[in-house]
Amino acid sequence: MSLNLEDVARIARLARIELSAAERETTRDQLNDILGFIEQLQAVDTTGIEPMAHAVDVVQRLRPDVVTETNRRADFQAVAPETEAGLYLVPRVVE
Amino acid sequence: MSRTTQWEVVIGLETHAQLQTKSKIFSGSSIAFGAAPNVQASAVDIALPGVLPVLNREAVVCAIKFGLAVGATIAPRSVFARKNYFYPDLPKGYQISQFEIPVVLGGGLAITVGAGDTATEKFVHLTRAHLEEDAGKSLHEDFHGRTGIDLNRAGTPLLEIVTEPDMRSSAEAVAYAKALHALVQWIGICDGNMQEGSFRCDANVSVRPMGQKEFGTRREIKNLNSFRFMQQAIDFEVHWQINEIEEGRAIQQATVLFDPDTGETRSMRSKEDAHDYRYFPDPDLLPLEIRPEWIAEVKSGMPELPQAMQARFQADYGLSAYDAASLVASRPMADFFVAAVAEAGAANAKTIANWIMGELAARLNKTDLPVEASPITAVQLAGLIRRIADNTISNNIAKKVFEAMWNGEGGSNNNAADQIIEKQGLKQITDTAAIEALVDEVLAANQKSIEEYRAGKEKAFNALVGQAMKATKGKANPQQVTDLLKKKLGA
């Protein structure tokens, strides 16, 4: 499997990354190199081996259901670009 | 397709149930409803760099309870995944959800569609249920062309419950949604408050010619937050799709919104700009392990499920299937019945059921009160039933006492019925001599009725019983009066 320039443009758009024409070519080559590594990995016979979802074979630690956070809105909003009436303001989005 | 084609409707539902925890699914922020904007949004919830999610144990318990209640498989190991999309109410740029290995797999819900003689039973299969976090809220008005973001809801634990495309009408979809709504409240994992968005449904709807094996192209109706809207939206959508096909236009896969004001559905986004979520396992979270011992522990703490309870009411108390089903329609209703039976005894269970579904249900309906807000408690109702059972009062007088109790006479005392009976002198007259005297008076004053009765008019006898009951202000035992009259008239 290999990616063409169109695939790269689409992936960049989904990730909200702007790429110039030159960057698109470099990125395509780099991504195709990575896909090459993955092909090597996929060539290994893993029949009968349970897939792992994480590199470390340990399980999730759980937290008791207790409210531990306090209201720190003022701190957080002090570094926000724009706020009003306790809300974060962003460019208008309409769906 | 000709106009004579018979169409089959195919519906699958996805429901987001907000879990009844105290804190968020991955942070220690409160999820209490109605707080001022962003005061319940911590560093994790607003996605400051460097923060890590830690899974709330109670959210997992809720998922296990649900899995047990619907007879599903609870995954011994499930995995959290990132669902990537950009929207300002999702500050991380991804939602933590489950994709390939959800916590609950399979199972299903038995539903009853319609009521009375035309009611039909159906089993709706579930595909899966998975844990995920809710997004924040966007407010589009009043911010001079900007959008306001409130992240209090971001990170609220949700269980997304997905059905197979098993439903064949809007009525079936609504019956399923109602059954699910009752169940999640019954097992105490969701408060079911649809106005506050604690329970919201998306419906996947398609149509196909009757008998065709392949499904038609579906459109997804988003965010149905009432059963009435669900019915309206699906009915409109089905009508619209059939019309499109009959006019020769193909259905395009799309996400649509229902507008309650116009009763119509309209397209939100088409397939071309459908999201490509690029799911992958979240490296911040390790696999969730659920051991059999944990499942057993959760199971031991679960309430009896509605279907089991219904079967028990039928077997132990001789209730009809309909009556038993009505009593288990909601947990508070079932609790009320169980509490009243515990107080008045199993022998009175049937009478209690009749009073709950008759007088009490009518009153609650009329005043729009839920049973848990009933001015008459289960113990008070039991107290009233006991006085009917031991012949202290007749059924008719009991209705009077019920009315008085409903209006708060007798206060909040457990023996409110006894106090009202005492205070208003409603006790049935059982003293035979007293009743006999009254009957004699009635007979003396109604010679005409006696003659008519002797001439063979049954109605005249009933009039005499009525007169006698009236003379006792309804406090005599009607059977006793009838017997006495018959005896005196030599019948």
CB contact under 8 A, A59 and B41: no
CA distance B383 to A3: 78
Residue B76 pLDDT: 96
| Cβ neighbours of A54 in B, within 8 Å | 281, 283, 286-287
CA distance B107 to B124: 9
> Which tens digits make up the pLDDT trace of B438-449?
888 888 888 888
> Which tens digits make up the pLDDT trace of B370-394?
999 999 999 999 999 998 888 888 8
Nearest CA in chain A to B138: A93
* CATH class of domain segment(s) B432-488: mainly alpha
CB B154 within 8 A of CB B45: yes
A11, A52, A67: which to substitute to probe chain B, counting the most B Cβ within 10 Å? A67
**HSE-up of residue B322 (Cα within 13 Å, Cβ side):** 9
Reported ipTM: the value is 0.89
Q: Which strands, in side-by-side order, build the sheet including B137-139?
A: A83-84, A87-91, B146-150, B137-139
| Cβ neighbours of B283 in A, within 8 Å | 54
In total, the C-beta contacts within 8 angstroms joining chain A to chain B are 123
| Cβ neighbours of B86 in A, within 8 Å | 16
Nearest CA in chain B to A79: B48
The DSSP secondary-structure symbol of B116 reads G
CA distance B95 to B89: 10
CB contact under 8 A, A54 and B60: no
B3 confidence band (pLDDT: 50, 70, 90):
low
Q: What is the mean pLDDT of chain B?
A: 91
For chain A, residues with pLDDT lower than 50 are: none
User: What average pLDDT does the segment B88-111 reach?
Assistant: 95
Residues with Cβ within 8 Å of residue B99, at least 6 apart in sequence: B79, B81, B83, B130, B279
CB contact under 8 A, B149 and A89: yes
| Cβ neighbours of A68 in B, within 8 Å | 23, 28
* Residue B162 backbone zone (phi > 0: left; psi -120 to 50: alpha; other: beta): beta
CA angle B307, B312, B318 (to 5 degrees): 120
Beta bridge partners of B206: B10
In this complex, the residue of B23, B59, B278 whose CB is nearest that of residue A67 is B23
The DSSP secondary-structure symbol of A18 reads -
CA distance B162 to B78: 17
| Cβ neighbours of A65 in B, within 8 Å | 21-23, 56-59
Domain with CATH 1.10.10.410 in chain B: 432-488
**B43 CA to chain A: closest CA distance, Å?**
8
Percent of chain B scoring above 70 in pLDDT? 98
DSSP string, B118-161: G-EEEEEEEEEEEEEE---EEE-SSSTTEEEEE-SSTT-EEEEE
Residue B246 pLDDT: 94
**A81 CA to chain B: closest CA distance, Å?**
12
Residue at B145: amino acid letter: G
Query: Which among B476, B16, B376, B9 has a CA at the least distance from the CA of B207?
Result: B9
> Which tens digits make up the pLDDT trace of B302-354?
999 998 999 999 999 999 988 998 899 889 999 999 999 999 999 999 999 99
The helix/strand/coil state of A90 is strand
User: What average pLDDT does the segment B418-439 reach?
Assistant: 79
CA distance B475 to B473: 5
Q: What is the mean pLDDT of chain A?
A: 92
| Cβ neighbours of B51 in A, within 8 Å | none
> Which tens digits make up the pLDDT trace of B121-132?
999 999 999 999
Report all structural domains of chain A as residue ranges with CATH numbers, in order of start.
Answer: 5-42 (1.10.20)
**Residues on chain A bordering chain B, Cβ-to-Cβ distance under 8 angstroms:** 14, 16, 53-54, 56, 58-69, 71-73, 76-77, 82, 84-95
- Rounded to the nearest angstrom, the gap between the alpha carbon of residue B369 and the centroid of all alpha carbons in its chain is 14
> Which tens digits make up the pLDDT trace of B247-286?
999 999 999 999 988 989 988 866 555 568 889 999 999 9
- Rounded to the nearest angstrom, the gap between the alpha carbon of residue B383 and the centroid of all alpha carbons in its chain is 27
- Report chain A's C-alpha Rg in angstroms: 22
